[in-house]
Structure 1
Amino acid sequence: MTESKKFKMSIRERVRATGESYCAARRVLLRRHEKALGQRAEVIAVAGMKGGIGRSTLAILIACEMHLRGERVLLVGLQPAVIPFGEPMKYPNTIQHWTTRTENSGFVGPASITIRDRMLASPEFAELTSGYSLVIVDCPRILEVQYAAMLWADTVLIPCSTASESARAVDDARALIALGLRKNPNLVSKVVIANEQPRTSPRRIAALREAASECGVDVFGVVLRDRVAFGNCLAGC
């Protein structure tokens, strides 16, 4: 993760003036920067290592719902540095694709941006989120990026599919949550059941809830339904 040249220069100037270590000077300047920006927005990271599980769908739906309730919402799509900026994403229901579609359709939804993942560890992220009450971060399927997002987040939501083996899905979610709690002990974590098709049997949903309970993972009461229909609708807009 990189920081702006201006901020690095400020750190070095403080080190020369005070004799502090680079890390100590950086912590002081970051605290001052956040205080100057006022109250920090609540940050919800939508994570998970399984592809096509509905991370972007869940992030978009939460952002739109809270926007309609009157919250000042910013929807953030993280783009890994290994992908050239501006390149189209693989899946149609990404934040970048959704933003383009909504602009063309005239729908006035929450504010949305796509940023490089490295910006999570820089003061620029605090500036971008300034003025918003809620920030929803859609994480790509890259462990390092999800870890960085959980360090900043207040809450992490992890969709878990009923289509895959329940115990394996919950175990993966538990491992990801444990990783975030190492550096962010105040992180609130929830698993969201992704019922990918309307015909998914209640027995499979019950099995996923039972597996989560045995692993000590909290399951959100809401079930993400018709994700495939949502993606197909967006792709056809």
Structure 2
Amino acid sequence: MIVAVLNQKGGVGRTTLALHLAGEWGLRGKRVTLIDADPQSSALDWSKQRARENVSRLFGVVSLARDTLHREVPKIARTADHVVIDGPPRVAGLMRSALLAADLVLIPVQPSPLDGWASAEMLSLLREARIYRPQLAARFVLNRCDARTVIAREATEALADHDPPVLVSTIGQRVVFADAAQSGRLVFELAEESAAAREIAAFAAEVARIAP
């Protein structure tokens, strides 16, 4: 399966979700390649930090921030069980290419009306891609939220009948994710029994159940 984590809005946690999705699948014994399609190269920097710390590799990271993704990713997918694309912010050509490459698109949003409005352009690109890829699956992911808050519940309810629908799994706003980003590690490596680790495991399992 080729999963693209995309949203043109910055700061929604694309790289965090992409890294942890790849890491969770790698932990389960899957062959996973993460494609860093963000010109900022945050996932590649994370991978380099992990190598400097001599931490065992759970998945490969390839830098591929160009608009030929849809032609190059299928070749990479031949030697992997899963490919995860960490998409760019506000680079329409790259975004379109990632959409054409993917079997499933995950759109991270925070539980805020502003995030909903900011996703409108992303949804327009998704509709455009479905002209060529009518079977392209997509899901919203509520990220950096507290599921117990009123605004998170309202966001979930607002997206309940939406197309694309929202995943049941939500990811909280937790300090351990920042620690993981800086150390080249994943949350289950820093805090195996934490709520963050449980949320990521549930998220990865739910994504794996979506058959494109």
* Unaligned stretches of 5+ residues in structure 1: 1-41, 81-88
2:46 pairs with 94, 98, 102, which one? 98
Larger Rg: 1
Q: Give the Å deviation of 1:174.
A: 3.5
TM-score by length of 2: 0.75
1:209 partnered with 2:168: no
Match of 1:128 among 64, 71, 76: 76
Q: How many residues align?
A: 182
2:134 is the alignment partner of 1:185: yes
Within 5 A, what are the aligned runs for 1:75-86?
Answer: 75-80=34-39
Residue of structure 2 equivalent to 1:59: 18
1:226 equivalent in alignment to 2:173: yes
Shift of residue 167 of structure 1?
4.4
Show the 5 A alignment for 1:136-175: 136-141=84-89, 142-165=91-114, 167-169=116-118, 171-175=120-124
Matched-pair contact (CA < 8 Å) for 2:144–2:171: yes
Deviates more, 1:133-142 or 1:227-236: 227-236
CA distance in 2, matches of 1:183, 1:207: 33
Shift of 1:192: 0.1
1:129/1:215 Cα in 2 relative to 1: closer, same or farther (>3 Å)? closer
Take 2:110 and 2:132, find their aligned partners in 1: how far apart are those partners?
Answer: 27
Separation (CA, whole Å) in 2 of partners of 1:186 and 1:73: 23
1:157 CA displacement = 0.2
| Mean Cα deviation higher: 180-189 or 224-233 | 224-233
> Which is worse superposed, 124-133 or 155-164?
124-133
Residues in 1 aligned to 2:87 and 2:120: alpha-carbon distance in whole angstroms: 19
- Give percent identity, aligned residues only: 24
